[in-house]
Amino acid sequence: MPTPIIDAVDIVKDYGANRALHGVSLQVGAGEFVALVGPSGCGKTTLLKILAGFEDPTDGGLKIQGKDMRGVPAAARPTRMVFQKLALFPHKSVADNIGFPLKLQKVDAPTVKERVRAMLDLMHLKPEYLDRFPAQLSGGEQQRVALARALVSQPSVLLLDEPMSALDAKLKKSLQAELKKLHREIGTSFVLVTHDLEEAMMLADRICVMRGGNVVQIGTPTDIYYRPANMFVAGFIGETNFLPVDVARKGDAATVSSPLVEGQPTDMPADHISPDLTDKGPALLVRPETIRFVTGDPEPGLWVLNGMVDEFFIKGSSTQYRIRVSGLDAPLVMDLPGSIVLPAEVGQAVRVAFDPSRAFLLSE
């Protein structure tokens, strides 16, 4: 990465005896969109507040735009933060809310007016909203005003703490699309904390998965989905099947086999093996959309499992089957595109197959 905008190294944060961050490092590039995800209490908001300057780290270093942030107050940083709970001033108009940061900076009135109008356009808010008060706007519109206020002073980094979690599903979808477009247009770096993994996948260039105050993995959405570091990350994003396997390591590569399947031991290429692989419960991660029913002879190289349809769900654009396979603790989950053709019924014996070399080898 060229010089990162944010360079956080080994950040530790203690709240009394409770260590919220155990040495977290995160670099964010210019114009990059990074999402922080992880279970409740893993330290996402704490990290964001440290970047913003609302909390001081107990230890570790933080540079933003190459400048040491120690002792630099929030208002003097090139960052702005948008909170989950709206922090709009209820007694100020939309125009005064958006223009507030500029007034603090003593920007002259005509420039404030011009910049506020420009933000209104950028956020697709109608000009007649300028004189309204926050209570006279919908939740989505209020959130856009909050975004406009955060962006009006043209920060280098926008920090977003679950900005869409209070919105209904439909509004959320449209604001997500707008946020992505906005990010592309303005070139500001975004760091988004979210519980919504689909949102992280949709929006972020890279996803940082945290657990218990540590970073478990940082990678592109594709990396996190198809090449997760371990079962925790795999299970965190999307549905999973874990097929226990025997592993024979051969340098960077490995050969895997399983007594549960019909099929030959398979060589796994090095890029289909987690760098964090240990001896603890090695398994193949087989995503539901990579499994198919087989009738007749399977193609060479595939692994075949015999099972019974336990349940199926029509999801609209796809149909999900849960297949009981003897020797597997959980039913195998498979997703087939389409909802019209149902090639199986509950209780029916079926054969399903997948390509093991396209799966991913990981461990607990």
Which secondary-structure segment (H or E) carries 42? Answer: none
For ligand ATP, the closer CB: 24 or 179? 24
| Among 41, 235, 269, 281, contact with ligand ATP (rule: CB under 6 A) | 41
**Chain centroid, CA 39 distance in Å:** 12
- Least distance in Å: CB of 39 to ligand ATP? 7
Tokens of 65: 């735009």
Does position 85 bind ligand ATP by CB under 6 A? no
| Among 5, 11, 33, 46, contact with ligand ATP (rule: CB under 6 A) | 46
Burial of 261 (0-12, 13-18, 19+ CB in 10 A): buried
| Among 40, 295, 317, 326, contact with ligand ATP (rule: CB under 6 A) | 40
Does position 52 bind ligand ATP by CB under 6 A? no
Does position 43 bind ligand ATP by CB under 6 A? yes
Helix then strand then coil, in percent of the chain rounded to 5, is 30, 30, 40
For ligand ATP, the closer CB: 15 or 89? 15
- Least distance in Å: CB of 11 to ligand ATP? 12
For ligand ATP, the closer CB: 59 or 108? 59
For ligand ATP, the closer CB: 18 or 317? 18
- Least distance in Å: CB of 55 to ligand ATP? 8
Please, are residues 162 and 86 in contact by the beta-carbon 8 Å criterion?
A: no
Whole-angstrom distance, CA of residue 339 vs CA of residue 202: 24
- Least distance in Å: CB of 322 to ligand ATP? 29
Question: Which segment (42-50, 229-237, 269-277, 351-359) binds ligand ATP by CB under 6 A?
Answer: 42-50
What 57-60 contacts at long range (C-beta under 8 Å, 24+ apart), as own/partner pairs, is 57/11, 57/12, 57/13, 57/21, 58/12, 58/13, 58/14, 59/10, 59/11, 59/12, 59/23, 60/8, 60/9, 60/10, 60/11, 60/12, 60/23, 60/24
- Least distance in Å: CB of 84 to ligand ATP? 8
| Among 45, 142, 217, 241, contact with ligand ATP (rule: CB under 6 A) | 45
In the block, tokens 């999402």 appear at 35
Burial annotation 56-90 (CB, 10 A radius, 16+ → b, else e): ebeebebbbbeeebeeeeeeebbbbbbebeeebee
For ligand ATP, the closer CB: 43 or 288? 43
What 334-339 contacts at long range (C-beta under 8 Å, 24+ apart), as own/partner pairs, is 334/288, 334/289, 334/291, 334/292, 335/239, 335/288, 335/289, 335/291, 336/292, 336/293, 337/289, 339/314, 339/315
- Least distance in Å: CB of 21 to ligand ATP? 8
Does position 42 bind ligand ATP by CB under 6 A? yes
Question: Which segment (41-49, 236-244, 288-296, 343-351) binds ligand ATP by CB under 6 A?
Answer: 41-49
- Least distance in Å: CB of 40 to ligand ATP? 3
Site for ligand ATP in 20-39 (CB under 6 A): 20, 38
Does position 326 bind ligand ATP by CB under 6 A? no
| Among 4, 35, 44, 100, contact with ligand ATP (rule: CB under 6 A) | 44
Give 223-241 as a DSSP string.
HHHHS-SSHHHHHHSS---
For ligand ATP, the closer CB: 20 or 204? 20
Interface size with ligand ATP, residues (CB under 6 A): 11
Binding site for ligand ATP (CB under 6 A): 15, 18, 20, 38, 40-46
